[in-house]
Structure 1
Amino acid sequence: MRSASVPAAVLLALLLVPVSAGAADSVQWNGFALVRPETPASGVPLDDDSFSAQLQAGIDWRPSPTFGTHLHLLARNESDGSRRGRVGIVEAFLEQNIQTRGGRLHLMEGAFFLPTSRENIDSLWETPYTITSSALNSWLGEELRPVGVDASYAHRLHHAGLLNGTVIGGATLFTGNDTFGALPIDRGWALRDHWALLGEHLPVNATGTLFTSVSAENDDRLGWSARAKWNNDHATLQLTHIDNRSDALRYGELFNWATRYNIVGADYTWHHWTAVGETSWGTTAIQPARGRFSFDLRASYLLLSRQFSDFRASVRADQYESGADHGHAFTAAFFWEPPHGKLRTGLEGITADGEKRAALEFRYRF
């Protein structure tokens, strides 16, 4: 087993070059610090933490409109039983924007979130609607982080009537993510905001004998993803396919899962209302000594949010399946966030599969 996090270290060195070269005027910082007291649940699908604290920072160097770099750092008080899970790198990539006569070509090289989520749309892959992401995006945050190359092309449609807007086609080739699919089967679906760090090993079973990692490359196979997107000023529709092309074999404490997954997402904004929904389905498989076993995976959510002058209120319904197990959750969140302020205060309640949790969050943006 070898790690695919080496490119991240190289990118980190590249990111530090402009600072040392005196190009600090091209460097931008953003991020937040949060504290979150909460009522602990007994376990999955909800967190058993009673207090959470995080510090996240994004560092962007953009010396020109065509070239940039991004580094996403995270520190937290809880590692949730993982190894190397308290402080580290979430994302590190280079990007280029190339204008063409008919549109724009966008390239990324490094470790990044796959641009699929209609929920986690804010900086640093945060959601503006709730404290905790849906089961689908909680899983993607924990177990999917392509380390590779992404290319997308955007073309503006004119004189197309109701279809006026922008169409985008994208594709990704990546290493790592061989264990993608382990968590929903072995641990179960969860609603949380534990974004995996590069090099982190996150436990997938109660005994702590098996782990999952977004950056470990075990079988020397490239995974791939493809997506298509249409959007205008009010609506978005996106389709994504992911195939990690894993060999489904065990490598020490990591068990590869061969996962093929599809995601369809949409959102619509009208005045101060926003509706968001995603549905996803696919299969995952492992091949222990006694043969190959395949499981179905499904997860969907529907979210409705209303923005007021200083407040936001949101509700979300989740449904998820792994093999023969089925579950559902309901979330309600209320935020106080002045338009030009740096402090956000939020209250969230979740009920999921008989478990309940309430969380109060204080977040300071910088």
Structure 2
Amino acid sequence: MKYWLWMFSLYSSITVAAEHKVSGVMDVRVSYTHGITSYVDAGLGKFRFNPDGQLSLAQGGLSYRVDWDNPFSFHVVANAYLDGVRDNIGITEGYLIYKGLPWDNGFRLSGKFGIMYPEISMENIATAWSSPYTLTYSTMNSWLGEEVRHLGARLSLEHLGKFNGTALDVKLSADFFQYNDTTGAMLAWHGWTSSSRQTLWQEKLPLSALPSLDGGSLASQAKESDPFLELDDRMGYHVNTQWRLHDMGRFEFGYYDNDADTRVVKNGQYAWLTQFFHAGIQWRLPYDIEFIAQYMKGDTLMQSPQGINIVDNGYNSGFVLLSHRWLKHRVSIRFEDFSVIDNDLTVDDDNSETGNAMTFSYGYQLRKGWFLQAEYNRVDSTRPARAEQGNSKELIEEQWQLASRYYF
């Protein structure tokens, strides 16, 4: 990635005029968590922080963008975490962008190539994929931040309504990608989480000490999952359509399929066939209340090289978020429901889970770019696998956070 950045910066300085922009976020938090060992620390806890209190750099995000005097630009994002659980720094996104001028009929072609998220999240719209609404992402978008990213290309065709005298824009996008063959492993083995951490491109994720992974039916699985790995040389795809009504909101619907060959395993890393539908709506209600709702439903399959189903899970997650901003204040509240349905016959590997979550967040703007934010999170879940580690299968976990967030 450093090589890409150097090459594009050199090109911009020698070949054509360019505009450089650097932005970022510094998020320092005091937090207290009531629960069990974090999933980030190989536990089955739903939050990113371990129990009790701590002071942390929850996110140090840096974004660099260069816009050339042509339809191309380049964008790279790095994130750092000093959270006492898994401190690290690295790249989370990096891609080349093409954005053409609209044609006379109102159509416009655009594209993107590189390391990127699928175009799904309606929450994570601020600098470095942070959220302006809450400190902790929804379970759906927490999973995207952990496992669902890839190296690929996106082609988008958009029709701008203003060319026809309407306020409706319509866009159709298609991604083709690789380097995501293990997507689904973490969702299976620790379930849904409420997090504010994005996996760095070079990171591997520790798996919890479950019977199936510790000498059981999945003993050949590596002790860490590599979420951005290419195993089968096959191309996955994601299609997404968006309708946007100016000054009111938007609606999206999409389908994701990594098209993994589930008989491939290399160095203890298995290919998981992961597919899901997703839908979302963002709308401006009366009294300047912003309404966001997203829902995801899919399945993920992991097999032995002989084609025997080892992990076969269905899953779904959805949330409703209401946010109101006035003067220097913002209040947001989010309600969620999630589940994992274990459909396989692997007796020592129960991945089933049901649960719901609630988040209440209040933010105050001290000055331009600087916000104080307080938040309460509650996750009520049932996961039988926790009993294997001496914890209750039915558990309520809570978290209180106070953050100083500075955007620059």
Structure 2 length-normalised TM: 0.81
Counterpart contact for 2:9–2:66, Cα < 8 Å: no
Cα distance in 1 for residues equivalent to 2:358 and 2:17: 45
Q: 2:112 — aligned with what?
A: 108
Once the two structures are superposed, the pairs formed by residues 143-158 of structure 1 within 5 Å of their partners are: 143-157=147-161
Letter in 1 for 2:62: A
Deviation at 1:274, TM superposition (A): 0.1
Counterpart contact for 2:182–2:228, Cα < 8 Å: no
Deviation at 1:364, TM superposition (A): 1.5
Letter in 2 for 1:250: V
Q: 1:216 — aligned with what?
A: 229
Deviation at 1:252, TM superposition (A): 2.1
Cα distance in 2 for residues equivalent to 1:214 and 1:91: 14
Cα distance in 2 for residues equivalent to 1:123 and 1:36: 17
The structure whose Rg is larger is 2
Matched, 1:14 2:56: no
Cα distance in 2 for residues equivalent to 1:206 and 1:22: 54
Matched, 1:122 2:126: yes
Q: Provide the secondary structure at the position in 2 that maps to 1:199.
A: coil
Q: 1:168 — aligned with what?
A: 171
Q: 1:60 — aligned with what?
A: 65
Q: 2:353 — aligned with what?
A: 325
CA displacement, residues 253-309 of structure 1 (integer Å, 9 cap, x when unaligned): 423211011110001013521000001101100003682142101000000001010
Q: Provide the secondary structure at the position in 2 that maps to 1:26.
A: strand
User: Which sits farther off after the overlay, 349-358 or 290-299?
Assistant: 290-299
Q: 1:48 — aligned with what?
A: 49
Selected match of 1:182 from 171, 185, 210: 185
User: Which sits farther off after the overlay, 207-216 or 67-76?
Assistant: 207-216
Selected match of 1:275 from 285, 291, 296: 291
User: Which sits farther off after the overlay, 295-304 or 31-40?
Assistant: 31-40
Deviation at 1:240, TM superposition (A): 1.2
Q: 2:399 — aligned with what?
A: 357
Q: Provide the secondary structure at the position in 2 that maps to 1:11.
A: helix
Counterpart contact for 1:336–1:345, Cα < 8 Å: yes
Letter in 1 for 2:398: K
Number of residue pairs matched by the alignment: 354
Q: 2:89 — aligned with what?
A: 87
Deviation at 1:181, TM superposition (A): 1.1
What is the percentage of aligned positions where both structures have the same residue?
25
Counterpart contact for 2:114–2:153, Cα < 8 Å: yes
Q: 2:30 — aligned with what?
A: 37
Letter in 2 for 1:325: E
Deviation at 1:97, TM superposition (A): 0.7
Counterpart contact for 1:60–1:68, Cα < 8 Å: yes
Matched, 1:237 2:237: no
Q: Provide the secondary structure at the position in 2 that maps to 1:13.
A: helix
Cα distance in 2 for residues equivalent to 1:170 and 1:250: 31
Cα distance in 1 for residues equivalent to 2:304 and 2:76: 37
Counterpart contact for 1:305–1:313, Cα < 8 Å: yes
Counterpart contact for 1:15–1:70, Cα < 8 Å: no
Deviation at 1:217, TM superposition (A): 0.8
Counterpart contact for 1:210–1:254, Cα < 8 Å: no
List gaps (5 residues or longer) in structure 1: 1-7
Q: Provide the secondary structure at the position in 2 that maps to 1:137.
A: helix
Matched, 1:254 2:269: yes
Letter in 1 for 2:6: A
Cα distance in 2 for residues equivalent to 1:210 and 1:171: 34
CA displacement, residues 102-145 of structure 1 (integer Å, 9 cap, x when unaligned): 32111101111222111112232221110011000000011111
Letter in 1 for 2:99: N
Cα distance in 1 for residues equivalent to 2:160 and 2:16: 34
Cα distance in 1 for residues equivalent to 2:397 and 2:70: 48
Deviation at 1:164, TM superposition (A): 4.0
Cα distance in 2 for residues equivalent to 1:180 and 1:164: 38
List gaps (5 residues or longer) in structure 2: 39-44, 214-221, 342-351, 381-395
Q: 1:5 — aligned with what?
A: none
Q: 2:330 — aligned with what?
A: 312
Cα distance in 2 for residues equivalent to 1:33 and 1:24: 30
Q: Kindly tell me: are residues 77 and 24 of structure 1, through their superposed partners in 2, closer, same or farther at Cα, counting changes over 3 Å?
A: farther
Letter in 2 for 1:256: A
